Amino acid sequence: MSDAAGPRPGPGSREAAIKISARAFVTTIVIILALMVGAGILTYIVPAGSYTHIIEAGVDRVLPGSFSYSSRPDYPAWRWLTAPGEVLWSPGNVQVITIIILLVLIGGSFTVLDSSGILKVALSLVVDRFKGNKYGLMAAIIFFFMFASSVLGIYEEAAPLVVFIVPLALYLGWDSLTGLGMSLLALGFGFAAATMDPFMITIAQSLSGLPLYSGLWFRAIFFACMFALVFLFVSRHARKVEANPQNSIVRAEDQRLRASIDVAAAVASAEEAAAPRMKRAVRWLGLWLLGAVAFILIATRVPGLSTYAFPIMGLFFVVACNGSAVIAGERGRSLLSCFLMGMKSILPAIVMILMAMSVKIIITKGGILDTILFVASGAIGKAGPYAAVFLAYLLTLALEFFIPSASAKAFLIIPILAPLADLVGLTRQTVVFAFDCGDGFANILYPTNPFLMVCLGLTVVSYPKWFRWTLPLQVVTILVCLAFMAFAVAIKFGPF
């Protein structure tokens, strides 16, 4: 990052603000490649089969009781390696392409924002405002992200906001993991602890025949518990890093960023903020980012608009970052050079996303996805209520590995699980809750989830280190989920 108070370096001496290290890239690629090969091997082991699928209003629905085994599709092993390319023209490719467009625009714009010195000025102002209550600010940020995903279903659209929270955490004396915990982790846990999420609760309850938003009291209690758990986990880590930076497992990765974030630079940035041009630049940035947040809120409520959310968010980001840089004094060739450099830096993340998405392609083309669902549903139908809800949770957890989309998974699973619930003495509301738990928390654990790989690609944190850091929290979360599911069975969580 450049020093906002001093002369800015020329374009040739600048670096991309978002830069994936070669080691992190290779490690992640090896992990996903192993998963791709593993998925391919499964297509030779698991018998092929399928349910009858009905397309209604453009939505793929499963017809319960229609499963039948079939001969194995002609899907040769060499196509496992071409699957990442097939993602671009397979069903759902529009979402993938728009995510890539958003990523590229973020990479270019954030580099411009960083190189112009505006990012440092804006962050120093926030730190100066909350320097006496850092952990209160942390709690507010975590609650904002959790509330947004739990109530409004905002998830992938919040990627541009994540890139601001990570450097803010560094400014506050913490590390990149703390920043991701305040944003990415909070988004994932809020999405899992859904209260009124239109993409998870609304669809799952509608497919189950439940009254819309029924059982809200139970989910609100669960949300409160998850908020407390996330805040305790992230704040505990932040205090350890604050006491001794050696406690951070990403300390080496953060060195490049920390080198430009010292006390003198923060003071200089605060002084520079008093300059009229910087005041105008920061004001412009803030207004456009608030506009982006407002757009996200509107997009979740307007049918059809969410389809275009990613590219429009990208445009908001371009105007916010590049406009503020122009106001701060950046011009012509320098601005373009920074933007192109930032776009180039994001290319490794795009490769990781396509590879992660290809695991679903391999399973689907191999014809075994419906077989896995059929076998699992048979086991659920023979179990008692407590075992059945646990198996429904495990089924969702397993399918999340291949199908990250909550709505797509709901249309696949819920029509089969809802009737089974009636047979084994479970309420349908309990099944919906188990589905929520199985779908949401794995979003920020599985490397096959594109949003997780997007956010990690926007930081210096590698997937193995993210997995290592979040695994203890995931273990505790599973125990909490099981306790809530058991309680839901005991009270016959309803109305039915």
Q: What is the mean pLDDT of residues 323-334?
A: 82
In a domain, 84, yes or no: no
Q: What is the mean pLDDT of residues 165-181?
A: 91
Residue-level pLDDT at 5: 36
The answer, yes or no, to whether residue 9 has pLDDT greater than 60, is no
Tell which wins on pLDDT, 43 or 266: 43
CB 145 within 8 A of CB 186: yes
In a domain, 166, yes or no: yes
Model confidence band, residue 241 (pLDDT cutoffs 50, 70, 90): very high
Residue-level pLDDT at 316: 83
The answer, yes or no, to whether residue 125 has pLDDT greater than 60, is yes
The answer, yes or no, to whether residue 7 has pLDDT greater than 50, is no
Residue-level pLDDT at 173: 87
pLDDT digits (tens, 9 = 90+) for 375-387: 888 888 888 899 9
The answer, yes or no, to whether residue 10 has pLDDT greater than 60, is no
- Indicate the pTM of the whole model: 0.79
In a domain, 1, yes or no: no
The answer, yes or no, to whether residue 292 has pLDDT greater than 80, is no
Query: Exposed, middle or buried by CB within 10 Å (0-12, 13-18, 19+), for 12?
Result: exposed
pLDDT digits (tens, 9 = 90+) for 412-423: 888 888 888 887
In a domain, 251, yes or no: yes
Q: Which residue segment(s) compose the domain that 373 sits in? A: 11-70+104-490
pLDDT digits (tens, 9 = 90+) for 430-465: 999 999 898 878 888 998 888 888 788 778 888 999
Residue-level pLDDT at 8: 43
Tell which wins on pLDDT, 85 or 411: 85
Tell which wins on pLDDT, 229 or 101: 229
pLDDT digits (tens, 9 = 90+) for 265-291: 544 554 555 567 777 888 888 888 788
In a domain, 437, yes or no: yes
Residue-level pLDDT at 263: 40
Model confidence band, residue 479 (pLDDT cutoffs 50, 70, 90): very high
In a domain, 265, yes or no: yes
Q: Count structural domains, the chain.
A: 1
pLDDT > 70: percent of the chain = 88
Tell which wins on pLDDT, 303 or 271: 303
The answer, yes or no, to whether residue 56 has pLDDT greater than 60, is yes
In a domain, 256, yes or no: yes
In a domain, 485, yes or no: yes
